[in-house]
Amino acid sequence: MSRKTVLVVDDEEHMVRLMEYNLIRHGYDVLTAHDGLEAVKKVGVSVPDLILLDIRMPNMDGFEVCKILRSDERTQNIPIVIVSIIADREKAEIMGARAYILKPFSPRTLIEQVKEVLGEKAASSTEFVLNGEK
């Protein structure tokens, strides 16, 4: 089985490094972007298996990134997990996110959500997930 690639998108360098470190430790390849515009460009070059996406970012926010990716046939099915301090679960669901992780979060929560969304962990349902809560 090939390694899965996760794109981490956050404007806070320490958050990018935290997620990147934990993902690599658990066997994932990681791409990073520090704003929405950079994320859209990276996805245009290399389609990841999953995107971890912040909401508040310069140049283009996470909801705009979702809108762009969902409107493109090549990227519309990439699972997106919102990772944000903003608790807007309803809008995230409408924009097509598969799960929502509220900051601050534990590395364990991050990895569990990634595994569940990628189908690497038995999920009890396909419902939208908020920090492990259905």
Containing structural domain, residue 125: 5-130
Q: In terms of C-beta density within 10 A (0-12 exposed, 13-18 middle, 19 or more buried), how is residue 27 classed? A: exposed
Query: Which residue, 103, 106, 108, 109, is CA-closest to 129?
Result: 109
Q: What is the pLDDT of residue 126?
A: 44
Give the whole-angstrom CA distance, residue 83 versus residue 51.
10
Domains identified in the chain, total number: 1
Give the whole-angstrom CA distance, residue 31 versus residue 43.
10
Q: What is the pLDDT of residue 130?
A: 59
Q: What is the pLDDT of residue 124?
A: 46
CATH number for 19: 3.40.50.2300
Residues in the chain where the model's pLDDT stays below 50 = 123-127
Tens of pLDDT along 112-130? 999 999 998 754 444 455 5
Containing 116, the helix (H) or strand (E) segment is helix 107-117
